[in-house]
């Protein structure tokens, strides 16, 4: 089989690997049991494995590649957080379908280059990329937990006891998880902003560039800080807090894969 054929097969396998995790939404009583961990492990191996193959020994800054590496970071972080939090594990039914859409979109938009797109970045650049991916993955998980809050609240108001909402965590547990994830994201994002400044200074540029990614990242940092302050001092919670979380997710989506999408559209 040709190299292209092998790549397409591995790509398809990575997409299919998300299906068991997406199907966890159909479980009436979600649990961190063997079935759960098998589904998560298959998803992680498929997406992370293909991402490693996709990049190989070169760096690719395309939109499809950005979506693949974002999905890999998200599923990996989800597995780690689920090992510590039953609340996170109960949100697998929401995250699975989202990841399936993301990797399917990544496959459609992906265009692996022959040979290398660019050399692998240096250590400081790799650190900055890892921090950025961790921030986006944390924001994604926080947004999923926020969606869980909204769906659970709606089910309680409608007095529905069945369906997918029955397997979701309680509103209080999901909200607590949202703010723990946001607090961690604020710290990691702060490190990312500082590492970006360090890279600019090392390269002899102005310490804070005015590009879209920098502006949107600073905006997300400010919004997260405002949400955490309002929660601690003003008791912000419920749907108003979720709206803030979704705003953060939108800002970071525009800052990371969004910038790649703009570059792809303008052909730069």
Largest CA distance in the chain: 62
Q: 39-77: buried (b, 16+ CB within 10 Å) or exposed (e) per residue?
A: bbebbbebbbebbeebbeeebbebbbbbbbbbbbbbbbb
Q: What does the alpha-carbon distance between residue 130 and residue 109 come to, in Å, rounded to a whole number?
A: 22
Write down which residue in 118, 148, 164 finishes a domain.
118
User: Which range marks the domain in which residue 91 is found?
Assistant: 1-118
Strand locations in 3-99, DSSP E? Answer: none
Does 125 share its domain with 238? Answer: yes
Does 40 share its domain with 127? Answer: no
Q: For the whole model, what pTM was predicted?
A: 0.86
Does 37 share its domain with 106? Answer: yes
Does 105 share its domain with 153? Answer: no
Write down which residue in 100, 118, 136 finishes a domain.
118
The enclosing H or E element of 197 equals helix 171-202
Token digits for 244? 């803030």
The answer to whether residues 248 and 224 touch, using CB atoms and an 8 Å cutoff, is yes
pLDDT per position in the chain (268 positions), as tens?
Answer: 444 445 677 778 888 999 999 888 777 777 888 999 999 999 999 999 888 877 766 666 677 788 888 999 999 999 999 999 999 999 998 999 999 999 988 888 765 544 344 444 566 667 778 888 999 999 999 999 999 999 998 888 887 766 667 788 899 999 999 999 999 999 999 988 887 777 777 766 666 666 677 788 888 899 999 999 998 888 888 778 888 898 888 888 887 776 666 555 555 4
Does 157 share its domain with 234? Answer: yes
């Amino acid at each position: 089989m040709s190299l292209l054929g092998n790549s397409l097969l591995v790509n398809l396998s990575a997409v299919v690997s998300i299906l068991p995790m997406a199907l966890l939404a159909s479980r009436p009583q979600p649990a961190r049991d063997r079935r759960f961990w098998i589904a998560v492990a298959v998803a992680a191996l498929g997406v992370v494995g293909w991402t490693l193959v996709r990049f190989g020994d070169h760096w690719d800054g395309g939109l499809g590649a950005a979506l693949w590496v974002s999905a890999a970071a998200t599923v990996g972080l989800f597995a780690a957080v689920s090992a510590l939090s039953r609340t996170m594990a109960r949100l697998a039914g929401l995250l699975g379908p989202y990841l399936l859409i993301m990797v399917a979109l990544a496959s459609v938009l992906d265009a692996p280059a022959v040979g290398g797109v660019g050399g692998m970045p240096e250590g400081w650049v790799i650190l900055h990329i890892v921090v950025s991916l961790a921030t986006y993955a944390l924001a994604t998980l926080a947004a999923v937990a926020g969606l869980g809050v909204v769906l659970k609240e709606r089910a309680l108001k409608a007095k529905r006891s069945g369906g997918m909402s029955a397997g979701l965590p309680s509103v209080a547990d999901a909200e607590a998880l949202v703010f723990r994830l946001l607090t961690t994201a604020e710290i990691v994002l702060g490190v990312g902003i500082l590492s970006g400044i360090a890279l600019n200074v090392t390269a002899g540029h102005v310490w804070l560039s005015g590009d879209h990614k920098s502006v949107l990242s600073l905006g997300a940092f400010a919004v997260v800080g405002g949400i955490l302050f309002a929660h601690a001092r003003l008791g912000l919670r419920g749907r108003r807090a979720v709206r803030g979380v979704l705003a953060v997710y939108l800002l970071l989506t525009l800052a990371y894969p969004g910038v790649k999408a703009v570059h792809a559209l303008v052909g730069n």
